[in-house]
Amino acid sequence: MLSAQGIKPGSINMARVLRQLRHRSGQSRLVTYHRPPIFGKDDYGVEGGAIVTQELLYPSLPALIRPYMTADYRLERAGANVIGAARVYTPNIQVIKGFPNFEQTTENPNFDEIEGWDRFIDRQRNVYQVPTSATGSWTSGTADVTFATDGQTITATLGTDYDGGFYYTTSATNTLESDRITFQIKASGASNIEFSNFKSFNGGTQDTDYAITYTPASLSIPTGSWLTVDVPFISGTVASGSSIYMDGTRYAVTVTTGSSFDYEANFRDFEFGISGAADGNIVYVRDIRFYKSISWHVHSLKELNDEFITFNCVRTRGRRDSRRRAYN
C-alpha cells in the first residue's frame, strides 16, 4: 500500500515527525538559523574590513536537539565560560528550502545549504513573556489605538491618528538573564502599514533615555502570514545592528540606546511604532518573549540522506548570570 502511494517503506517524513513532536511533547522546537556576515579578504587572504555578504537570520527552522552535554562549566583564562555539545536533526535540504526565507532565488541567492560554523539558536528558557491575553496594560501612545484579544493575540485597531506608537507597561520586572527578543506581527486592512520601530524600556517608562530602539529599514507589516522577529538583546548589539528577513529579503535593523538604558535594569515597557495607511487598519501581535538562548555551532555533518540531516554541534560560550548580576 505504501509503495502504491509513492512512499518508500521505511522512509521518514522528518518534517512531519518534528512537527508532531513539537505539538505533543516539546522535544522538537523551532530554532533560529544564523550565519554571521562574511567579510572581504585583504591581499594576504585574511578576512576583515567591509562586509561582502550580510548575515542570514532565519527564524522558525524545525529541529530536534539531543545534547550530549548542555552546560559544562569551565574556568578559562578570560574567566568563566559554559560550553557543550549536541546532535541536531533537521529535515533534508530540499524540505528546508521550502520553508519561508530559506528558498534559494535570484533575490535570495546566499543560502544553499547549512555549513560548518553556521548556528542554530535555541531557546534555553523564557525569561519574561509580555502578556497578550488581556488588554488592561496595553495603552495608546502617540497613535490612536483600541485593543482587543482572543486570549493569545493582541489586536490593535488604528483610529484617526494612525501614525505613532502603542505599548505594554508593567511594574519593574527582571529580564537580566535574557539575551534575545522574539515576537510575531501581522496586519490587515492595508498592505503598506509601515513597521517603524520597536522598543524595550528598561529602568524607566516612556522615556527614550531608558529605551533600546530597533529600527527596520522600510519594512511593511505583512497581511497574510505572520512575520517572526528574533533579534539580540545584549551588549554589542548597537554596534553590529541586526536583521529581519521576510520572503528572503533582508531588512537591516539599526539599534540605538538612550543615555540611561541598561540591559541589566528591570523591564518596564514594550512599544511598537507603526505608520498606518488609514483609519481602521489593524495590527496583530503575539508571542512577545525575552529569552535566554543557546547557540549551537555546526561542527560536522554526521549523516545526510533523503529524509533528514544530522549535525554534530558545539556550544562555544555561555554566561554565568550570577556573575553578571554581581559585577553589574
Q: Are 72 and 82 in contact (CB under 8 A)?
A: yes
Cell of 70: 548542555
The single-letter code of the amino acid at 291 is: Y
Domains identified in the chain and CATH numbers: 3-125+293-327 (no CATH), 129-291 (2.60.120.260)
Alpha helices (H) along the chain: 14-24, 93-96, 237-240, 321-327
Element (H, E) at 137: none
- Name residue 255's amino acid: V
Sequential pLDDT tens for the chain (328 residues): 334 445 455 566 766 666 666 655 666 789 999 999 999 988 888 887 888 999 999 999 999 999 888 888 888 777 778 889 999 999 999 999 999 899 887 777 888 899 999 999 999 999 999 999 999 999 998 889 999 999 999 999 998 888 899 999 999 999 999 999 999 999 998 888 999 999 999 999 989 999 999 999 989 999 989 999 999 998 777 888 999 999 899 999 999 999 999 998 999 999 999 987 788 899 999 999 999 999 999 999 988 887 889 999 999 888 777 776 776 6
Sign of CA dihedral 245, 246, 247, 250: negative
Helix, coil or strand: residue 157: strand
